[in-house]
């Protein structure tokens, strides 16, 4: 079992254990289409989710990743060149932030992917991920398959949740 000590801009003094192999042994209901590395490379959260490469994650996840110059979301760094995110304040207000993952779902996913497991929180986040699936049905109903110009904001939002909306 490997222990990760987190001392980053977004969280300090946090420690967690990796109890599953990286990228394996996911909950049976959780089938993300993209890895954190793929998501970062495609362009998510306007390059501002992390303000620089976090030391807690593998360096190769960040190869070729563009970070926002001014720490504010830049839609041009997103895969679909649109803003599709709500602010962290909105996430906090809605109770979507767990204290162990102060940046929200994607931070949870990165840590889950690495092998951290917190059963109650994992169940909550996986249910949230499943609920995002409804946007896939909307794209399929309203867009020609693989027409990435159709509903780019919805496609970008799905990308933030590890769904590969480029192929829908």
pLDDT in tens, 78-108: 999 999 887 778 878 887 788 899 999 999 9
Q: Which residue has the tokens 């109650």?
A: 120
Tokens matching residue 96:
């979507």
Rounded to two decimals, what is the model's pTM?
A: 0.94
Look at residues 41, 25, 9 and name the one whose alpha carbon lies nearest to residue 112. Answer: 25
Of the pLDDT bands very low, low, confident and very high (cuts 50, 70, 90), residue 29 is very high
In the predicted model, is pLDDT for residue 163 greater than 90? yes
Mean pLDDT of 35-49: 94
Other CB atoms within 10 Å distance of the CB of residue 132: 15
Both tokens of 41, joined, read 């490379």
Q: What is the CA radius of gyration of the chain?
A: 16
Q: What is the DSSP letter of 100?
A: T
The pLDDT > 70 percentage for the chain reads 100
Tens-digit pLDDT profile for residues 133-155: 888 999 899 998 889 899 999 99
Q: What angle do CA 137, 139, 143 make, to 5 degrees?
A: 135
Rounded CA separation 60/62 (Å): 5
Residue 159: exposed, middle, or buried by beta-carbon count in 10 A (0-12, 13-18, 19+)? buried
Report the number of secondary-structure helices (H) and strands (E) in the chain: 6, 2
């Amino acid at each position: 079992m490997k222990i990760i000590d987190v001392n980053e801009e977004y969280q300090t003094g946090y420690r967690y254990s990796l109890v599953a192999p990286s990228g394996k042994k996911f909950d049976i209901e959780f089938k993300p289409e993209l890895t954190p590395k793929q998501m970062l490379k495609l362009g998510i959260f306007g390059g501002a989710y992390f303000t620089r490469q976090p030391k807690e994650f593998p360096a190769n996840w960040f190869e070729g990743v563009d970070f926002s110059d001014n720490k504010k979301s830049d839609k041009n760094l997103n895969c679909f060149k649109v803003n599709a995110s709500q602010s962290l304040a909105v996430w906090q207000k809605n109770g979507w932030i767990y204290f162990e993952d102060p940046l929200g779902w994607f931070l949870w996913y990165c840590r889950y992917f690495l092998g951290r497991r917190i059963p109650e929180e994992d169940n909550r986040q996986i249910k949230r991920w499943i609920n995002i699936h409804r946007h896939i049905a909307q794209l399929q109903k309203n867009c020609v398959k693989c027409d990435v110009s159709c509903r780019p904001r919805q496609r970008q939002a799905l990308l933030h949740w590890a769904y590969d909306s480029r192929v829908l």
